[in-house]
């Protein structure tokens, strides 16, 4: 009568695949971050009017995606996966605040281009949006600031983002980076409070804002621009927090961006240098073994 | 391979060019906007912009310097920013001699407010003491934050409503010879920490009512704090500010507080308010600019106020609203609303808002869009009071903006610490003791003012320096008024902990003008809410008599219109608050028309 009443035929042996619904729910890790950041954007805007202009955010995303498509094709002869460009564009759209339109385009294109131009031994060494935003803040302070909206300064949205972000970063096996940074920031906040006499609450305060949420979940954890070893990642992110501490002592408003801008590439270069030192030794050792 | 290398070289060059782009854009902008750096040259300013200002307060006999309050010692570390308001200015002809006078508030404990009587010869005399409205800042009663004038009993003389961080006061004008305090009789509350108030006849009964907007909660006595948790609970959606009051005039010298019944229940941190009939209903709608949050717009149906902030578009992105002023800047008979906010290079760029009615929307479906950037009036530093007025009589409303928050040490800024606390959670920022000490640092201090000239083609150009507005005091309130009945708008500016400035205007004689001094009969006698639409050369401009606008300010009740060269003045249509329509055909230019509402 129907296919369901037909006697089942034993299928040929093959690897067991998850059910379709499971496959559908099992997202490629590459898409988790873009989805998360999109949720932040939509939720932030609907609840707190986070974006003053849809057009500017859309412009930043489009510029970023277009630049990545063109440069990826030109440099590597293939269309790149656009998840990274999307994150860059949306980060620029959220973090950059300017009355003009051009900074959104310029920041996005600058960020993506840095990925292709500023390369050492085939690896780009700056987190793209960190590079773009730092450059714009440094070069065009009269036109560009970063996000001022703070999720209403309310506790609940902050907790939701922290919880969701932590789960996602845990799944991506990079929670240790975020965790070490947060702990280091808090420790340095108390130290700053001791040194400057400012209330410790005011030193902790920035950590609760959305700028930091984007910073700690998306920028400092970027797999492409962090060193490979887990121990190295912990050391580097501690150094980022330390550099930020020094910059904050000098009252630099955008200390976290500049700290990552300085420490991130330096760490990458050190790692490459160490790799290059190990590689000849390893190859000599291999030769020696062969000869023996 | 070779192609890739070539591409890499080209992209690298482009990359360097992009890094250089912001610097080049800034350089080009400086070159393009060079006129603002120009020093005053009167003849050049007249030729180029059609007017120039001279600061004449000293020669006019005005030597008023504002004093700030000293609040509870627990606020000492951040006192300069907490005690950063109170300088206000309002224009009134208190003795009906046909010459505008100036009332200014002071905010030091025991300091005196001043009423500068216009002596008609270019000078003023402070008569506040003898009139009984000087000594209003006694310890224990709070200190002045603003004043607005309206004839609440329709006896022909403007009465004074004084708002304070403390006890609000109502003074009845005794025929221009003195003032009697009638606060208790009127039924005003014992304590309101208010920074904005206005007179308007919201229900059209011919009696002026009062709106007062609270800033700090009315439970807070800033001189005797029970707690330091008095700061906003959010920098964007704070709702722990002062309550709002709507006092309905009962006609017997008493007022009834009806805000809840009328639908105004906000506890946002109001800093400015203004009322105008935005929909042509004959009822004034109410706009409130809030600090630490979104603005509010209430449509008034004559009995109730309906919060339409979100649906009209003005109540979404939270900023730091500090000004509310209406102006028909496109000469299309529709009001734009100007709201000032904060912009500081490299730190915080909120941008001021210029809300214009969206094309194709009107009535209940009225919507606004922010065109401040498009029209060139977005960036004004830490902006405070602003007013629209035709400064060069060319037929287009210009915009005068004052700014600057706390000017202390020029070389040390508090912005780093301010940005740090601003990002904090509500449990941190609500408590003043968590705020870093200012330690003598400036916060957006010593700023250059903006005088934006409307070119009539959709752009405003800043000419402040070129026309002689060169002060860098911490400006708060601006009032525009034809002080000497010359057919030009002078500007009076109240500065926090600074002098009262009088910018005397000189306008090219080629441009014609007309002014309307209205007096209601069936309507309230101050004619607040009366509207004049002037038709000339195929265009029209609408203005409304205001009971308070800008920041802590009130312009002259007389309406001033410029018309440019050789205008063909067709008619002036007056719509009185009572609903009567009066048309004046072909009135002569260059005159002050005194019009009484027809029976």
Q: Tell me, what's the pLDDT at A53?
A: 72
Residues of A in contact with B429 (CB under 8 A): 153, 205
Q: How many residues does chain B have?
A: 599
- Three-state secondary structure string covering B44-79: HHHHHHCEEEEECCCCCCCCCECCCCCCCHHHHHHH
A55 contacts chain B (CB < 8 A): no
Burial class of residue A32 in the structure, from the number of CB atoms within 10 Å of its CB (0-12 exposed, 13-18 middle, 19+ buried): middle
For chain A, helix (H) and strand (E) counts, in that order, are 12, 4
Average pLDDT on B180-186 reads: 98
* Dist. CA B515–CA B538, nearest whole Å: 19
pLDDT average per 10 residues of sequence, chain A (292 residues): 37 54 59 79 72 82 96 89 90 85 94 93 90 93 75 74 86 92 97 95 87 84 87 95 96 93 95 84 46 30
A144 and B349 within 8 Å at the Cβ level: the answer is yes
**pLDDT given at position A289:** 36
CA–CA dist B254, B237 (Å, integer): 35
Which residue in A78, A205, A210 has the most chain B C-beta atoms within 10 A of its own C-beta, making it the best mutation to test that interface?
A: A205
Angle (deg, nearest 10), helices B2-32 and A54-76: 150
Query: By the CB < 8 Å criterion, does A129 face chain B?
Result: no
Detail the DSSP E strand segments found in A45-122: 96-97, 119-120
- Cα B200 from Cα B286, distance rounded (Å): 10
**Residue among A184, A173, A159 nearest A238 (CA):** A184
Q: Which residues of A touch B373 (CB under 8 A)?
A: 99-100
Q: How many CA within 13 A on the CB side of residue A163?
A: 6
In this structure, of A173-182, B241-250, B340-349, the range with the lowest mean pLDDT score is B340-349
Judge residue A290's burial from the number of C-beta atoms within 10 Å of its C-beta, 0-12 exposed, 13-18 middle, 19 or more buried: exposed
Q: How far B538 CA sits from the closest chain A CA (Å)?
A: 35
Q: What are phi and psi of B18, to 5 degrees?
A: -65, -40
Tokens of B529: 């809410």
CB interface of B with A, residues 10-39, below 8 Å:
11-12, 14-15, 18-19, 21-23, 25-26
- Facing residue for A208 by CB, picked from B378, B425, B437: B425
Cβ separation of A153 and B14 shorter than 8 Å? Answer: no
Question: Are the CB atoms for B532 and B587 separated by under 8 Å?
Answer: no
Mean pLDDT (chain B, rounded): 95
Which residues neighbour B500 within 8 Å (Cβ) at sequence distance 6 or greater? B57, B62, B64, B65, B66, B89, B102, B104, B114, B492, B493, B494
pLDDT of A287 reads 42
Q: Is B26 helix (H, G, I), strand (E, B) or coil?
A: helix
- What gap in Å lies between CA B476 and CA B295, rounded to an integer? 19
CB B424 within 8 A of CB A208: yes
Q: Element (H or E) spanning A5, and its range?
A: none
Cβ within 8 Å, pair B419-A48: no
Among chain A residues, the shortest Cα distance to B292 is held by: A152
| Contact across the interface for B8 and A144, Cβ inside 8 Å | no
Strand partners, B170: B161
Nearest CB to B424; choose among A135, A205, A252: A205
Query: Three-class SS string for B159-183?
Result: EEEEEEEECCEEEEECCCCCEEECH
What angle (nearest 5°) sits at the alpha carbon of residue A56, between those of residues A53 and A58? 105
Q: Maximum distance among all alpha carbons in chain B?
A: 93
Q: CA–CA distance from B479 to each of B220, B222, B386, B402 (Å)? A: 30, 28, 8, 11
Asked if the C-beta of B233 comes within 8 angstroms of chain A's C-beta atoms, the answer is yes
Determine the pLDDT at residue A26: 57
Closest CA to B438 of B395, B483, B394, B406: B406
Q: What's residue B262's pLDDT?
A: 98
Nearest CB to A97; choose among B349, B423, B425: B349
């Amino acid at each position: 009568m129907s296919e369901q009443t037909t006697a089942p035929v034993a299928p040929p042996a093959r690897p067991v695949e998850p059910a379709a619904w499971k496959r559908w729910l099992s997202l490629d890790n590459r898409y988790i971050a873009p989805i998360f950041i999109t949720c932040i954007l939509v939720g932030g805007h609907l609840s707190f009017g986070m974006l003053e202009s849809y057009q500017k955010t859309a412009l930043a995303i489009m510029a970023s995606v277009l630049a990545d498509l063109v440069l990826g094709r030109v440099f590597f002869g293939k269309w790149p996966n656009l998840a990274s460009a999307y994150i860059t564009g949306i980060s620029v759209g959220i973090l950059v605040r300017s009355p003009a339109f051009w900074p959104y385009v310029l920041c996005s294109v600058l960020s993506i281009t840095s990925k292709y131009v500023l390369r050492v031994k085939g690896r780009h060494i700056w987190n793209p949006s960190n590079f773009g935003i730092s450059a714009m803040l440094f070069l065009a302070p009269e036109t560009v600031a970063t996000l001022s909206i703070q999720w209403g300064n309310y506790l609940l949205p902050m907790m939701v983002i922290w919880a969701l972000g932590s789960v996602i970063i845990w799944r991506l096996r990079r929670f240790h980076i975020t965790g070490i940074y947060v702990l280091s920031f808090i420790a340095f906040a108390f130290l700053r409070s001791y040194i400057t006499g400012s209330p410790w609450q005011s030193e902790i305060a920035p950590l609760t804002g959305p700028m930091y949420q984007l910073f700690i979940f998306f920028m400092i954890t970027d797999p492409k621009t962090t060193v490979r070893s887990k121990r190295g990642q912990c050391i580097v992110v501690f150094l980022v927090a330390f550099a930020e501490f020094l910059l904050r002592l000098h009252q630099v408003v955008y200390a976290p961006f500049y700290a990552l801008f300085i420490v991130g590439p330096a760490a990458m270069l050190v790692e490459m240098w160490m790799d290059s030192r190990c590689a000849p030794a390893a190859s000599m050792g291999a030769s020696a073994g062969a000869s023996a | 391979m070779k192609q890739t290398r070539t591409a890499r070289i080209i992209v690298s060059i482009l990359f360097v060019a992009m890094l250089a782009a912001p610097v080049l854009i800034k350089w080009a902008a400086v070159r393009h906007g060079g006129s603002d750096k120009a020093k005053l040259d009167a003849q050049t300013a007249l030729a180029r912009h059609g007017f120039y200002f001279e600061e004449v307060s000293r020669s006019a006999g005005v030597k008023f310097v504002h004093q700030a309050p000293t609040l509870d010692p627990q606020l000492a570390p951040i006192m300069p920013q907490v005690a950063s308001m109170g300088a206000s200015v309002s224009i009134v002809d208190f003795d009906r001699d046909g010459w505008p006078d100036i009332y200014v508030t002071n905010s030091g404990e025991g300091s005196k407010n001043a009423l500068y009587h216009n002596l008609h010869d270019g000078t003023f005399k402070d008569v506040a003491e003898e009139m009984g409205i000087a000594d209003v800042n006694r310890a224990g009663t709070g200190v002045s934050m603003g004043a607005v004038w309206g004839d609440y009993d329709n006896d022909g003389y403007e009465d004074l409503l004084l708002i304070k961080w403390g006890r609000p006061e109502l003074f009845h004008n005794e025929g221009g010879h003195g003032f009697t305090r009638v606060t208790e009789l009127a039924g005003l509350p014992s304590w309101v920490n208010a920074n904005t108030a206005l007179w308007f006849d919201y229900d059209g009964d011919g009696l002026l009512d009062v709106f007062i907007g609270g800033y700090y909660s009315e439970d807070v006595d800033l001189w005797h704090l029970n707690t330091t948790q008095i700061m906003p609970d959010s920098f964007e959606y704070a709702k722990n500010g002062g309550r709002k009051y709507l006092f309905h005039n009962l006609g017997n010298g008493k007022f009834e507080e009806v805000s809840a019944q009328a639908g105004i229940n906000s506890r946002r941190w109001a800093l400015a308010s203004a009322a105008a009939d935005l929909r042509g209903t004959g009822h004034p709608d109410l706009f409130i600019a809030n600090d630490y949050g979104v603005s509010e717009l209430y449509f008034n149906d004559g009995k109730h106020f309906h919060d339409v902030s979100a649906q009209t578009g003005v109540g979404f992105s939270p900023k730091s609203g500090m000004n509310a002023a209406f102006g028909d800047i496109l000469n299309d008979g529709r009001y734009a609303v100007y709201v000032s906010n904060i912009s500081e290079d490299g730190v915080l760029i909120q941008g001021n808002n210029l809300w214009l009615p969206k094309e194709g929307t009107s009535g209940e479906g009225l919507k606004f869009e922010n065109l401040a950037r498009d029209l060139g009036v977005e960036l004004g530093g830490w902006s405070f009071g602003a007013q629209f007025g035709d400064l060069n009589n060319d037929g287009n409303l210009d915009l005068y903006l004052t700014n600057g928050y706390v000017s202390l040490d020029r070389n040390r800024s508090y912005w780093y610490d301010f940005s740090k606390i601003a990002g904090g959670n509500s449990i941190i920022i609500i408590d003043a003791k968590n705020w870093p000490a200012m330690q003598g640092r400036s916060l957006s201090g010593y700023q250059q003012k903006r005088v934006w000239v409307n070119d009539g083609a959709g752009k405003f150009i800043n000419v402040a320096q070129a026309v002689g507005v060169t002060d860098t005091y911490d400006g708060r309130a601006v009032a525009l008024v034809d002080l000497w009945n010359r057919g030009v708008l002078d500007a009076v500016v109240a500065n926090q902990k600074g002098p009262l400035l009088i910018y005397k205007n000189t306008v090219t004689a080629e441009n014609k003008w007309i002014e309307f001094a209205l007096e209601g009969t069936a309507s309230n006698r101050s004619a607040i809410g009366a509207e004049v639409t002037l038709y000339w050369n195929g265009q029209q401009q609408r203005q409304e008599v205001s009971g308070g606008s800008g920041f802590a300010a009130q312009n002259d009740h007389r309406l001033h219109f410029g018309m440019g060269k050789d205008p063909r003045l067709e008619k002036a249509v007056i719509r009185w608050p009572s609903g009567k329509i009066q048309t004046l055909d072909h009135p002569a230019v260059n005159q002050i028309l005194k019009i009484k509402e027809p029976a």
